[in-house]
Amino acid sequence: MKRQILVVDDEIGALTLIGIMLERGGFSVLKARDAASAHQVIEETTPDLIILDVMMPGKDGITLCGEIRMRDATTKTPIIILSARGDADAIIRGIEAGANDYLLKPILHHDLVSKIRTMLGQPVVPA
């Protein structure tokens, strides 16, 4: 069975691109465009890993990360923050909120898929 990855990003282009990368990497992709939608998806299913953008309208990805960590079902779910915002403050806040890793956009397909496979304990296939 394919592992499910939830991608939360308000930019439809980024959501589509990341979704294609993950599907090509052999994952099933769930998508949400904001924190409210992400909570709805998490209520219905527990993804194997979650990818969050930082800059979104309403709640940002760092706040959402902290909320996901407070839920019993997702307290140990791996979370990657994937953002164009790479300043030290954002990275520190993301890790303190419970993210397992903080990656910068743009990201190469192989780098993203390799990172996810490593976090999920799957073999990493060389490029």
Identify the segments of the chain with pLDDT beneath 70: 125-127
Per-residue CA distances from 124 to 55, 94, 100, 102 (Å): 30, 25, 18, 19
Give the pLDDT score at 73: 95
Give the pLDDT score at 68: 98
CATH number given to 4-119 = 3.40.50.2300
Q: Rounded distance, CA 37 to CA 103, Å?
A: 22
Give the pLDDT score at 123: 86
Give the pLDDT score at 126: 63
Domain limits, the chain: 4-119
